[in-house]
Amino acid sequence: MTRPARVVIDLAAGRANLQRVKEYAPNQKIMAIIKADAYGHGLERVAKVFDQADAFGVACFEEALRLREAGVTKTIVLLEGFFSEQELNQLAALNIQTVIHQLKQLEWLEQLSAAKAINAWLKIDTGMHRLGFDPEQVESVYSRLKSASGVNDHIHLMTHFASAEEPSILQQLTLFTSTTSKLEGTHCLANSGAIIDRPDAHGDWVRPGLMLYGISPFADRTASELGLTPIMSLKSELISVKHAQKGERVGYGGTWECPEDMQIGVVAMGYGDGYPRHAMSGTPMLINGNTAKLIGRPSMDMLTVDLRECPDAKIGDDVLLWGQELPVEEIARCADTIPYELLCGMRMRARFVEING
Ligand SMILES: *Cc1c(COP(=O)(O)O)cnc(C)c1O
């Protein structure tokens, strides 16, 4: 028998989420963001699911190369740009486009021959203070890009929001608009939060990530309220059921004490599989559809569960750690993290199973 821990990927949910993005941003082109191994869902797999997108955004050259090797012909954009001159020299032949966010990249680009010309996405730092040129630098960088023979004529103008909330987003949007007012080029600004809440920030291209995977970018609205369906379900089975007595302690460090005589269960799932070790006692899971609570610290391959509310639970029963009936957003809150981190933590770990292909 195989170990029952597995990640189930619902391909139809992915296609429906992309459709939902198109409803939120009907007049925009869509750059589906599939960095970090497609938020832990598997790069090549997800590229197929999102083949109706207009482009893919990835973090680095290695990810772009994996896509080309898998036969993906769609436009690919490097969100952090190229890291070396050697990478830059390979972009044109592979039809990979790149963000330009700092002067060293610009200098390398100016050395590039016209035969290897590439498409550039000029990144402007409008307030997040991560990547991008300062607004004062933008005019000069833009004209240097325009005159570089290794850069194709059309320049994309881009920024990234630190938050989808006021006043921060409005300040960033205003600064972007004033910085780019005299420059020709398509605008690319919004990630999931702004796609849903800020039609005024849609520009020409949108860059959805989280929402494509069926997760809500907001603390106060669920994915289902937004018309999104999680692609990923984390599943396993009960591998042990036993009786424990009042006062007995459970797990490493004995952080949880049985308040009465009770049944406890063990699930084949742990932090080695990507389940968060910091999930608190009380974090929910579903056993045969009934809510049960995590007790004690998750260990590497196993975790323990309070079976008082699942009196019929037995070895071999299905356990859902997160998925369509139990949002990963809720598990993230119980582990003091964000859903992005939990999804990315799945990459290359558990066994993946695809459904609804
Ligand atoms: C990750 C990323 C996105 C997608 O953000 P979500 O919040 O997941 O929608 C968009 N743009 C850039 C530059 C990113 O790094």
Pocket test for ligand 1, best of 191, 202, 215, 216 (most atoms within 8 A of CB): 191
* Torsion angle in degrees (nearest 10) through CA of 164, 165, 167, 173: 20
Q: Which atom of ligand 1 is nearest to the CA of 192?
A: 9
Ordered by where they begin, the domains of the chain are: 12-214 (3.20.20.10), 232-355 (2.40.37.10)
What is the C-alpha separation between 135 and 310, in angstroms, rounded?
59
Mean pLDDT of the chain: 97
Active site residue: 35, 123, 235, 293, which one?
35
Q: What is the pLDDT of residues 252-279, one digit of tens each?
A: 999 999 999 999 999 999 999 999 999 9
pLDDT digits (tens, 9 = 90+) for 6-15: 999 999 999 9
Residue 339: predicted pLDDT: 97
29 a catalytic residue: no
- Report CA(145)–ligand 1 centroid distance (Å): 24
- Select from 30, 31, 79 the residue to mutate for testing ligand 1; criterion: most ligand atoms less than 8 Å from CB: 79
33 C-alpha to center of ligand 1: Å? 6
How high is the pLDDT of residue 349? Answer: 76
Which segments in the chain show pLDDT lower than 70? 1, 348
Q: Which residues contact ligand 1 via a Cβ below 6 A?
A: 33, 35, 79, 160, 191-192, 207-210, 217
**What is the pLDDT at residue 1?**
64
What is the 209 CA–ligand 1 centroid distance (Å)? 5
What's the gap in Å between 208 CA and the centre of ligand 1? 6
- Known catalytic residue at 252: yes
- Cα of 68 vs centre of ligand 1, distance in Å, is 21
pLDDT reported for residue 86:
95
Q: Please identify, by atom number, the ligand 1 atom nearest to the C-alpha of residue 217.
A: 7
